[in-house]
Amino acid sequence: MPRTKQELEHALAAYVADVLGGRRVCGRLERLAVERHVRDTDHGPSRGLRWNATRGFRAAWWIEHRTRFSKGEWAGKPFVLEGWQLFAVACLFGWERRVDGVWRRRFRTAYMSVARKNGKSEWAAAIGLTFLYPALALGGEVGGEVYSAATKRDQAAIVWRQAAGMVRKSPTLKREVAVHDSRYNLAHYESESRFEAVAADANTLDGLGPLCAIVDEYHAHPNSAVYDVLESGMGARREPLMLVITTAGGKREGACWDLETDAIRALEGLGEAEGVADDLFAFIARPDEGDDWALETTWRKANPNFGVSVHAEGIRIACDVAKRKPSARNEFLRKRLNLWTEGDVAWMGMDRWDACAGAVDLEALRGQPCYVGVDLSSTRDTTALVAVWPMHRVSKNLDSDYIAQKYAVVPWIFVPADTISERGPRERKLFEAWARDGLVTATSGDMVDYEAVWQQLLELNDRYGVQEAVFDRWQASALIGKCEQVGILTVAHGQGYKDMSPAMKLAETLIGRGQIDHGGHPVLRWMFSNVRVKRDPADNIKPDKARSADRIDGIVAMLMGLQRANANAEAGGEVRVWAIS
């Protein structure tokens, strides 16, 4: 039965409590979405955000009281939202941001990723229908345009047909909204609004002014052309919504992967203090790293509608087929477990990195041996210099005879000031904030200022006495020559598997054991989130970027510094840190 607004409020509170209390089986990313919501209710006002529960529950109330399931065993019955669906609706409509003194809907983009058969198309159709009604004060406008878009007309029509079915099954909506099947058009004449399905020929989309655009199965789009055209058409709208619904794809590359990467960063709080992703809502239901894909608990994490529209028996049958037929495994992982199956994988979870955010006291490190890794960029990219200090011994390992060593890590990041404006909107906002706060050094012009890097290295040498400066010799000949002139020992460190595999495996061990203090530096944290792992047939590894536009220079420099600091500690008989192979 449709619920009252008070009942909806209680239902949302119960969902949040179940997720945070561990009573609901869900993956890390679903939990992060809930934690973000709770965190923003406390800290959002400082960034110009507010939680308007009345508006959020009005949208949910309208969906439950006006729309009906269009097919299946619940056809014709009220669309009663499951906890996760209610959470998403309430967030999309209830969160607001202050713009020019007026409170507007906060989220302009929403990324929803769940496994197949979890009702995401019907849920998206219900969201689209709300935008036909400006009287709801939920974001609808007179003359609203709602579009369902996909690579093919048949795919785009899936969400539209769900919406049309909802209209036909609803006693109220069928009186107010006309259904034109031949044109894939729903018309709400009172508000002069329409809901249509459009194909992926981006040339035919020019001139549209979407108030809400629903991009279905984005992983199947060959590029971002459709998304970009629809988004650019939203420019004149005050409270538009770009709603992306999808399951995971194959290769970890392309338009959908890029958006998912941004979504995960938003969930992990990257750039949160700078308000970088305040307009991006993300909900991703997925198993966690290391979960056994044959277990029911794993299935539940990818299927938030488990036991409702998705049942254990169906997944179990598909799982058995995947066990017997390796050729069916990736299909099972993508469609049933919402897992990307091809390409490079993330190095480590952000939770491990964040657990190493101990403060670093630079004054207390005077007299401690200092090792500096330097990753020089091409002429227009970021350049990183990272200092590593072996610190006091912290604990005896009960399984062997060595004393664990801890390392302090401090980065200095350099970027040509004129290139900041050329970056993507989210990255540009990050670098502008970091430059303002002194977290990156923005050097004048549009080229890397190697002299600024050299002066920082000299300062470290004067204050601490640099034991070694570690370089990839590419583009480093001038700096290496200067180091030799002042007596700083330089060490070459390659970027291939031979040198990088031991360095990455060492860092995995140190980070996993909490033997690094990096002070929670925001730029280094962002770069850590960009690192992906490449493997060769011998299981050697090296760092790579999630996307070509991403930066990992600071982590590469840290790896080189850690490797040399540990090697010298071993040679001196002070410490033995074994990398996990």
Say how many C-beta atoms besides its own lie within 10 A of residue 570's C-beta. 14
Q: Pairing between strand 280-284 and 109-113?
A: parallel
The total domain count for the chain is 2
Contact in structure between 237 and 209 (CB atoms under 8 Å): yes
pLDDT at 393: 55
Say whether both 458 and 312 belong to one domain.
no
pLDDT in tens, 148-200: 998 888 889 999 999 999 999 999 999 999 999 989 999 999 999 999 999 87
User: Is 339 contained in some domain?
Assistant: no
Amino acid at 7: E
Which one, of 17, 15, 165, 158, lies nearest residue 90 by Cα? 15
Say whether both 367 and 268 belong to one domain.
no
Contact in structure between 410 and 256 (CB atoms under 8 Å): no
**Per-residue DSSP letter, 78:** B
Is residue 321 packed enough to be buried (19+ CB in 10 Å), middle (13-18) or exposed (0-12)? middle
Q: In what order do the strands lie in the sheet with 95-99?
A: 49-51, 95-99, 102-105
The pLDDT of residue 402 is above 50: no
Q: Pairing between strand 102-105 and 370-375?
A: unpaired
- In DSSP terms, 113 is beta-bridged to 246, 284
Distances (CA, A) of 277 to 213, 266, 546: 19, 6, 18
Say whether both 243 and 370 belong to one domain.
no
User: Is 324 contained in some domain?
Assistant: no
Instruction: Please tell me which residue, 566 or 344, carries the higher pLDDT value.
Output: 566
Instruction: Take residue 12 and report the two structure tokens written for it.
Output: 């949302």
Instruction: Take residue 344 and report the two structure tokens written for it.
Output: 């490079």
Say whether both 298 and 360 belong to one domain.
no
Which one, of 79, 213, 210, lies nearest residue 150 by Cα? 213
Rounded to an integer, what distance in angstroms lies between the CA atom of residue 343 and that of residue 336? 19
Contact in structure between 386 and 518 (CB atoms under 8 Å): no
| Phi, psi of 450, rounded to the nearest 5 degrees | -65, -25
Say whether both 309 and 390 belong to one domain.
no
Instruction: Take residue 413 and report the two structure tokens written for it.
Output: 């990041």
User: Is 555 contained in some domain?
Assistant: yes
Amino acid at 377: S
Say how many C-beta atoms besides its own lie within 10 A of residue 392's C-beta. 9
Q: How confident is the model at residue 343 (pLDDT cuts 50, 70, 90)?
A: low
pLDDT at 345: 73
- 78 alpha carbon, distance to own chain's centre: 34
pLDDT in tens, 454-495: 999 999 999 999 999 999 877 788 888 999 999 999 999 998
Domain harbouring 253, CATH code? 3.40.50.300
pLDDT at 288: 95
What is the average per-residue pLDDT within 335-344?
A: 88
Say whether both 433 and 358 belong to one domain.
yes
User: Is 336 contained in some domain?
Assistant: no
Contact in structure between 499 and 551 (CB atoms under 8 Å): no
Say whether both 156 and 52 belong to one domain.
yes
pLDDT at 342: 78
User: Is 329 contained in some domain?
Assistant: no
Say whether both 366 and 306 belong to one domain.
no
User: Is 344 contained in some domain?
Assistant: no
Q: Pairing between strand 403-416 and 516-517?
A: parallel
- Report the chain's C-alpha Rg in angstroms: 26
pLDDT in tens, 405-459: 799 999 999 999 988 888 888 888 889 999 999 999 999 988 888 899 999 999 9
Residue after which a domain boundary falls, among 293, 317, 341: 317
Residue after which a domain boundary falls, among 317, 337, 361: 317
Rounded to the nearest integer, the mean pLDDT of the chain is: 90
Instruction: Take residue 293 and report the two structure tokens written for it.
Output: 């894909």
**Per-residue DSSP letter, 77:** S
Torsion over CA of 262, 106, 422 and 258, rounded to 10 degrees? 20
The number of residues in the chain equals 581
Query: Percent of the chain, pLDDT > 70?
Result: 93
Contact in structure between 323 and 294 (CB atoms under 8 Å): yes
DSSP three-state, residue 201: coil
Q: To which residue do tokens 């769940």 refer?
A: 114
Which one, of 138, 143, 88, 81, lies nearest residue 112 by Cα? 88
Give the predicted TM-score (pTM) of the model.
0.83
Instruction: Take residue 188 and report the two structure tokens written for it.
Output: 């709400």
User: Is 174 contained in some domain?
Assistant: yes
Angle at the Cα of 290 from the Cα atoms of 287 and 294, rounded to 5 degrees: 65
Q: Which residue range(s) make up the domain with 472? A: 350-570
pLDDT in tens, 25-68: 999 999 999 999 999 999 999 999 999 999 999 999 999 999 99
- 276 alpha carbon, distance to own chain's centre: 12
Which one, of 307, 322, 253, lies nearest residue 545 by Cα? 253
Say how many C-beta atoms besides its own lie within 10 A of residue 449's C-beta. 18
Helix (H) or strand (E) holding 391: strand 383-396
- In DSSP terms, 403 is beta-bridged to 396
Domain harbouring 479, CATH code? 3.30.420.240
Which one, of 501, 456, 502, lies nearest residue 479 by Cα? 456
Torsion over CA of 476, 482, 483 and 487, rounded to 10 degrees? 160
pLDDT at 387: 97
Helix (H) or strand (E) holding 543: strand 541-545
Query: SS3 string of 452-515?
Result: HHHHHHHHHHHHHCEEEEEECCCCCHHHHHHHHHHCCCEEECCCCHHHHHHHHHHHHHHHHCCC
Residue after which a domain boundary falls, among 317, 335, 367: 317
- In DSSP terms, 92 is beta-bridged to none
Instruction: Take residue 493 and report the two structure tokens written for it.
Output: 């460190």
Say whether both 297 and 437 belong to one domain.
no
Rounded to an integer, what distance in angstroms lies between the CA atom of residue 111 and that of residue 130? 18
Rounded to an integer, what distance in angstroms lies between the CA atom of residue 159 and that of residue 162? 5
pLDDT at 29: 98
Say whether both 278 and 357 belong to one domain.
no
Say whether both 483 and 545 belong to one domain.
yes
Q: How confident is the model at residue 404 (pLDDT cuts 50, 70, 90)?
A: low
The pLDDT of residue 401 is above 50: no
Say whether both 208 and 104 belong to one domain.
yes
Rounded to an integer, what distance in angstroms lies between the CA atom of residue 522 and that of residue 152? 41
Rounded to an integer, what distance in angstroms lies between the CA atom of residue 466 and that of residue 453? 14
Rounded to an integer, what distance in angstroms lies between the CA atom of residue 425 and that of residue 369? 40
Rounded to an integer, what distance in angstroms lies between the CA atom of residue 106 and that of residue 281? 9
User: Is 337 contained in some domain?
Assistant: no
